[in-house]
Amino acid sequence: MKNPATILPSAQYKRKATIFSVLSIIVIGCCWFVEFNPFGFFSEFHFVQDLLSEMFPPNFEIIWDDNSMAMSILQTLSMAFLGTFYGGFVAIILSFLSATPTMPIVWIRNLTKFMLSLIRVIPSLVIILIFVIAVGPGAFAGVLTLVITTIGTFGKLFTETIDNTENPAGEAIFSVGSNRVQMIKYSIVPQILPSFISNLLYAFDINMRAAIGLGIFGGGGIGYKLHMAMRVLHYKDATALIALIIVLVTIVEKISNTLRKRII
């Protein structure tokens, strides 16, 4: 007689089958709840063809005919830079207050971590809507949004970088009678400085994309021009702006990656 263990499905097979079944039920349930038909990609493709016929060929003349285009690009770059600069500066300060090696007072450390977690859970689109209501649409609202989102995202990242520093160097400095400020200056800062600069360049790369997206919701810049082109149904102009955005983001990404590699 054969051993039942060689005939029945193994525990690993049952586990994989269970995971697959649960995921299938979740996917089907979500599609049913939002009334999404995945086969519509194929059955309704003619709508996509109609849209593409309206978007191509792109009207690249808008790029050099519009006198405010260069100003919009500069505005987007300025939004990304200012959001990274001010947001990164505050994030660095808060990271020193929330990291264990640099802040011995527990309640200050926990309060700062709670603030960073609270900022991080608020979606950027909600923040831009709040600032648009508070200060009006434009680049100022976009910069404020990028500052807040940079603080939330990179404040936690900087805190983890400080927490992962090597302790022996700091203990050696303490052993010769140095205070905590001197320990931070001569032990922690040299370890975290390359990582901080690299992460700030990465933050600028992210904020560049975010600034374009926020412009669609009233944050100004080239994203706002794309929003207006779509709003008035000038799809050929929108296609040209999308191509310009792709080129702009690619250039910024290449520069950021090159600088990060040199620093690391």
Which tens digit of pLDDT belongs to each residue from 3-29? 555 566 667 777 888 888 889 888 888
- Is residue 173 predicted with pLDDT exceeding 80? no
Domain boundaries, the chain: 4-42, 61-263
C-alpha count within 13 angstroms, C-beta hemisphere, residue 235: 8
What pTM was estimated for this model as a whole? 0.74
Report pLDDT for 45: 59
- Is residue 170 predicted with pLDDT exceeding 60? no
pLDDT digit string, tens, across residues 194-215: 778 887 888 888 888 888 877 7
CATH number for 61-263: choose from 2.120.10.10, 3.40.50.300, 3.40.50.740, 1.10.3720.10: 1.10.3720.10
CA dist., res. 47 & res. 240, Å (int): 21
**Phi, psi values for residue 2, rounded to 5°:** -75, 150
pLDDT digit string, tens, across residues 39-82: 666 666 556 666 666 667 766 777 776 677 778 888 888 888 88
- The mean pLDDT of 230-250, rounded to a whole number, is 79
Given a contact cutoff of 8 angstroms between Cβ atoms, the answer to whether 215 and 224 are in contact is yes
pLDDT: is 167 or 132 the higher one?
A: 132
- For residue 157, the tally of other CB atoms under 10 A from its CB is 16
Whether the link from the prior residue into 38 is cis, omega within 30° of 0, is: no
DSSP secondary structure, the chain, as one string: ---HHHHSPPHHHHHHHHHHHHHHHHHHHHHHHTT--TTHHHHTHHHHHHHHHHH-S--THHHHH-TTHHHHHHHHHHHHHHHHHHHHHHHHHHHHHHSTTT---HHHHHHHHHHHHHHHTS-HHHHHHHHHHHH-SSHHHHHHHHHHHHHHHHHHHHHHHHHTS-HHHHHHHHHTT--HHHHIIIIIHHHHHHHHHHHHHHHHHHHHHHHHHHIIIII-SHHHHHHHHHHTT-HHHHHHHHHHHHHHHHHHHHHHHHHHHHH-
